[in-house]
Structure 1
Amino acid sequence: MTFKTHGDYATRARASFARQAMMTTLGAQIADVAPGQVRLTLPFNPDLTQQHGFMHAGAITSVLDTAAGFAAYTLMPEDAAVLTVELKSSLLRPAAGVRFHITGQVVKPGRTIIFTEATAMAEDGQGVHTEIARLSASMMVVQGRAFRG
């Protein structure tokens, strides 16, 4: 699918992501930015585990939501942003791995609402990637408000 972009969307997305204190705290980083798609990485962190030693669903869901949101953000004009208005996270397997690869993508762009999806893959350290979670989300286009972009 071909998407319409505005200006230097990749630089804007990277700059906005860099201002997200939550993603810095989690250790998430941008791996790639393309029109309607963002790929993030998240290293395993024992400080972000639940009682069984797996990465906590809250951490994984937060990064899934961010990947989906930034996928939508790549399609925004320079004076617009997005906010999540609805999401559903499905946890398919325990979040066990040395690193997680999260891809967010736009399913259907719109003037007011953008439909997105994201997937999380766990990397086991041997090069094997296993899908552990999926998210579907609706992003609201926000214009005319003072955002830190």
Structure 2
Amino acid sequence: MSHSCLSHSDSVALAYALIWIIRSRHATLGPTTQENSMTLTPDQAQTIFDTAFAPWVRALDLTITDISKNGATLTMPITPDLTRMGDVLSGQALAAMADTAMVFACAGLFGQMKPVATTNLEVQFLRAGLGDLVVCEAQIVKPGRNLIFTRAVMRAEPLGKDIATATATFYLA
């Protein structure tokens, strides 16, 4: 019976190569909030939204008012196209707004738009969405090497009452 095995020096060389590969992958893929000096402005983020997002998401008329390494704030007018019986904002519009805001929170973390995939999204509807405008504040909860955990709070204006909260996990593609 013949066995093929590596010599000690070959094993050491292989171990060092694997360590180098892992460190290189971590350095290029993982969020580097301390090392990342790039910043994304609200105007730059708005341009990305206006040109790169699906038409049905753009139809929500979202405006990116703030973006930083910690999160993003978006607004959405409450219009007849987004409401259902009783002029109540639809849950689908709130869910899409929350997901989009948390995607931009990830972009703020990186200082640029990187491809992320929503792995889960949970929305809790607290009260009817009534008013003129929804403000969604999204935050980074925990950035990881491959997964980014986020949360969002949506508030109806002018009443200033929270109408929904959301959490999501994103995979850094």
State the TM-score, normalized to the length of structure 1: 0.83
Write the letter of the residue equivalent to 2:145: R
Q: Could you tell me which residue of structure 2 aligns to residue 72 of structure 1? A: 106
Unaligned runs of 5+ in 1: 143-149
Question: What is the aligned-residue identity percentage?
Answer: 29
Which of the numbers 132, 137, 146 marks the counterpart of 2:168?
137
Query: Which fold has the larger relative contact order, with Cα–Cα distance below 8 Å and residues 6 or more apart in sequence?
Result: 1
Q: Could you tell me which residue of structure 2 aligns to residue 82 of structure 1? A: 116
Provide the secondary structure at the position in 1 that maps to 2:145.
coil
> C-alpha separation between the residues in 2 aligned to 1:133 and 1:73?
22
Which of the numbers 14, 17, 42 marks the counterpart of 2:46?
14
Deviation, structure 1 residue 12? 5.1
Is 1:28 aligned to 2:59, yes or no?
Answer: no
Is 1:44 aligned to 2:75, yes or no?
Answer: no
Deviation, structure 1 residue 72? 1.1
Write the letter of the residue equivalent to 2:107: Y
The number of aligned residues is 137
Residues 40 and 77 of structure 1: is their aligned pair in 2 closer, same or farther, counting only changes over 3 Å?
Answer: closer
Q: Could you tell me which residue of structure 1 aligns to residue 129 of structure 2? A: 95
Greater Cα offset, 89-98 or 31-40:
31-40
Structure with the higher fraction of residues in helix conformation: 2
Q: Could you tell me which residue of structure 2 aligns to residue 104 of structure 1? A: 138
**1:46 touches 1:53 (CA, 8 Å); kept in 2?**
yes
Deviation, structure 1 residue 77? 6.7
Q: How big is each residue's C-alpha offset from its partner over 1:1-28, in whole Å with a ceiling of 9 and x where there is no partner? A: xx44452333653332222233420111
> C-alpha separation between the residues in 2 aligned to 1:79 and 1:22?
20
Whichever of the two has the greater Rg, that structure is 2
Write the letter of the residue equivalent to 1:85: T
Deviation, structure 1 residue 114? 0.1
Which of the numbers 120, 123, 129 marks the counterpart of 2:157?
123
State the TM-score, normalized to the length of structure 2: 0.72
Q: How big is each residue's C-alpha offset from its partner over 1:82-115, in whole Å with a ceiling of 9 and x where there is no partner? A: 1211010000000111111001110000110000
**1:101 touches 1:122 (CA, 8 Å); kept in 2?**
yes
Write the letter of the residue equivalent to 1:8: T
Structure with the higher fraction of residues in strand conformation: 1
Supply the RMSD in Å over aligned alpha carbons: 1.9
Deviation above 6 Å: which 4+ runs of structure 1?
A: none
Deviation, structure 1 residue 51? 2.2
